[in-house]
């Protein structure tokens, strides 16, 4: 039998976990992690159509798509890169990063393969792609454990659920940190043009919010499991006495 306090903690923890999962899933699937604001004249330039064509159908090259993002109000996500182009009205066109492209090495000078691989940027890029998937997988695994605990009518597995949520929260936080560090390093080696401003997007904030939600859920699960175990031990000792 589970005390009402522990049951309440489990319900609140489950709701927080669900919210965190929804937020992180939306963040991973959208492209508004980072956005650029360029002067209006850039969209009317004679080579704007050429930039768009290379961006959509050209070969994958970090310098090419980065320069296009800078000039055409681009937005960047974990899986998507988008630009705004007049067609004839302003429309947004997006291209996804394929799985092989997620593992393409970064170079010390973007687009210049002769400068050698930039290992730090390469692994930051790969981590920002892998960590949210690991986080979602850990939450899914914890959900399976929680269902098994309900079927077995035992609160003991909740300790494992709490640990998995704590790891998931750290992975979500690591995703945001890797992305921010990678963007900072990119802007150091690829300077933004004049009058172009960059800012964080709402997708990144969703991922950032999901991390403390997962950690709060982990704290509730761990508290419920530990307190229930201590209470059960005291009751057992009292009965024996």
DSSP notation for 83-126: EEEESSSEEEEEEEPPHHHHTPPPEEETTEEEEEE-HHHHHHHH
Has residue 236 got a pLDDT over 80? no
CB 128, CB 178: distance < 8 Å: yes
Residue with tokens 């000792």: 237
Q: Which residue has the higher pLDDT, 47 or 215?
A: 215
Is 0.75 topped by the overall pTM? Answer: yes
Looking at residue 232, what is its pLDDT? 43
Measured CA distances, 92 to 56, 82, 98 (Å): 12, 7, 19
pLDDT of 44-64, one tens digit each?
555 677 777 788 887 888 888
Kindly give the interhelix angle for 48-57 and 62-71, rounded to the nearest 10 degrees: 140
Has residue 202 got a pLDDT over 90? yes
CA distance 65 to 195: 18
């Amino acid at each position: 039998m589970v005390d009402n306090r522990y049951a309440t903690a489990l319900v609140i923890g489950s709701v927080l976990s669900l919210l965190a999962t929804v937020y992180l899933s939306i963040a991973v699937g959208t492209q508004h992690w980072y956005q650029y604001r360029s002067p209006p004249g850039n969209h009317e330039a004679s080579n704007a159509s050429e930039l768009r064509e290379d961006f959509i159908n050209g070969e994958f090259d970090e310098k090419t798509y980065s320069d296009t993002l800078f000039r055409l109000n681009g937005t960047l996500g974990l899986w998507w890169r988008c630009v705004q182009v007049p067609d004839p009205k302003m429309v947004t066109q997006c291209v996804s990063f394929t799985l092989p492209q997620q593992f393409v090495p970064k170079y010390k000078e973007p687009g210049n393969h002769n400068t050698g691989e930039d290992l730090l940027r390469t692994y930051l890029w790969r981590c920002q792609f892998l960590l949210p998937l690991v986080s979602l997988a850990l939450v899914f695994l914890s959900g399976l454990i929680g269902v098994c605990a309900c079927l077995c009518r035992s609160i003991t597995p909740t300790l494992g659920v709490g640990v998995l949520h704590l790891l998931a929260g750290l992975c979500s936080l690591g995703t945001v940190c890797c992305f921010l560090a990678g963007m900072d390093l990119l802007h150091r080696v690829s300077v933004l043009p004049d009058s172009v401003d960059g800012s964080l997007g709402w997708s990144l904030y969703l991922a950032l919010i999901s991390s403390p939600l997962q950690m709060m859920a982990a704290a509730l699960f761990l508290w419920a499991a530990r307190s229930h175990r201590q209470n059960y031990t005291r009751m057992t000792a009292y009965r024996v006495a």
